[in-house]
Structure 1
C-alpha cells in the first residue's frame, strides 16, 4: 500500500486516533533496523524554540522593517 492510498484515510481519523497512529508508527520505527541514518534506541536531541527567549527578540527585530514598509 502506498502513502498516497493511506493519507486520505489517515486524514479522516479523529485527533485521538491520529495520535495513536503516530505512536504505533514511531514504535515500529524504533524497532526497525533499516532506518538509516537513525540508530535504534539512541536518543536524538533536537533544538526547539522553547525557552529560547532571544529568538523571539530576533524575530521581532526582523519583522520591524517589513512592518514599516507596509505602512
Structure 2
C-alpha cells in the first residue's frame, strides 16, 4: 500500500498522463524504471491509457486538415 508520499506521486503520474506532447510521454517512460514497483506500474497503466485515449491536443495533431 502506498503511503502519503506514494499516493501523491501516483496522483502526479496520473496528472502527467493528461499532459499532451512527447515530453510528458518521455517522462512517463522514464518512470517505468523507478525503484518503487507500484509507481512504475502506475506509469505503465497511464502509458497504456494514453495509447487508447490520448490527451486532447495529441488527438488534434492526428487529424489532417481538410482540402478546400
TM-score by length of 2: 0.33
Greater Rg by CA: 1
Pick the structure with more helix per residue: 2
